[in-house]
Amino acid sequence: MISKPKRKRFKYIYGPVSSWRLGRSLGIDPISSNKKTCTFNCIYCQVGRATKFSKRRKIYVKTEKIIDEIKSLPHLKIDYITFSGRGEPTLAKNLGALIKAIKKLRKEKIAVLTNSSLMNRQDVRNELALADFVVAKIDAPSDRLFNLIDKPMRDIKFGSIIEGIKKFRRIYAGRLGLQIMFIDLNKKITIEWASIIEEIKPDEVQINTPTRPNKTAPLSKKEIVNIKNQFLKISSFRGNLVLVYDSCRKAVSPISTKHALKKRGRGIERL
């Protein structure tokens, strides 16, 4: 019988978690601050309400500290090493350095989950391009809905985000996913949605809804399937459509503490 690895007080690494889109995913939080640090304050945010707004890239955790934790990992079955956590991972100025250093040590693929807000910056695009899988989120097809749902910092603009993702697509040969968090406000599939996705040309679109506890209710499975069908009717996009309710979760044995998972909004799934 294989014994479960002991849980350890990792500060920057958490999981592995069973991810609906990444299989067994070991999380890295390159921000790791006590307060969520982000360019947005989404109404469905699952990592806490208190937000430290910032769009300044800086080194939050030294590269060596995270790499030391990577080196101390026990034997683990994981599919992806994923940059995410308590805030927006592209705020970490050493994101590129971290991806390069981890690639020298580990054979697993590297994913980054980003809210896309800094993808209009060339340095961010270049660093994201080092990852194998980038999941960029767009929650709205218009400036109005974007402001209502994602509640961005004042000088973060919807149009500039879309342009940033398009520029990234042009240079990126890896797998690009667009994640859309559907809630009541944005569930109507309009022609604007279809054209944004067709212009970006992602490899896949992830149709999500907030399944972990927060103050915004998730959509039902029926509503999510309806979104997919509406989308297929009006869009010529024929890449992968991945639905949160269709996911098949893999078994995992986390090596980080429950506190470390909870801090990143994990381990308390509604589904």
Contact footprint for ligand SF4 (CB under 6 A)? 36, 38, 40-42, 45, 47, 87-88, 115
**CB-wise, 47 or 98, nearer to ligand SF4?**
47
**CB-wise, 125 or 137, nearer to ligand SF4?**
137
**CB-wise, 7 or 151, nearer to ligand SF4?**
151
Q: Do residues 240 and 204 touch, judged by C-beta distance below 8 A?
A: yes
Residues 267 and 264: their CA atoms lie apart, in Å, by 9
| Shortest distance (Å) from residue 47 CB to ligand SF4 | 5
| Shortest distance (Å) from residue 135 CB to ligand SF4 | 11
Supply φ then ψ for residue 26, to 5 degrees.
Answer: -95, 120
| Shortest distance (Å) from residue 207 CB to ligand SF4 | 16
Alpha helices for the chain (secondary structure H): 63-71, 95-105, 122-128, 143-150, 158-171, 191-200, 221-234, 258-263
Q: Do residues 107 and 127 touch, judged by C-beta distance below 8 A?
A: no
| Shortest distance (Å) from residue 6 CB to ligand SF4 | 29
Give the total residue count for the chain.
271
**CB-wise, 22 or 38, nearer to ligand SF4?**
38
Sheet bearing 23-28, strands edge to edge:
13-19, 23-28, 80-83, 109-114, 133-137, 175-181, 204-208, 240-243
**CB-wise, 202 or 265, nearer to ligand SF4?**
265
Q: Do residues 228 and 241 touch, judged by C-beta distance below 8 A?
A: yes
| Shortest distance (Å) from residue 200 CB to ligand SF4 | 18
**CB-wise, 45 or 111, nearer to ligand SF4?**
45
Q: List C-alpha distances in Å: 76 to 2, 12, 70, 224, 255.
A: 12, 17, 11, 33, 9
**CB-wise, 50 or 173, nearer to ligand SF4?**
50
| Shortest distance (Å) from residue 37 CB to ligand SF4 | 9
Closest CA to 206 of 152, 136, 151: 136
| Shortest distance (Å) from residue 97 CB to ligand SF4 | 22
Amino acid occupying residue 114? T
| Shortest distance (Å) from residue 254 CB to ligand SF4 | 20
For residue 242, what are the contacts with CB-CB under 8 A and spacing of at least 6? Answer: 21, 177, 204, 205, 206, 207
Supply φ then ψ for residue 105, to 5 degrees.
Answer: -100, -30
**CB-wise, 43 or 205, nearer to ligand SF4?**
43
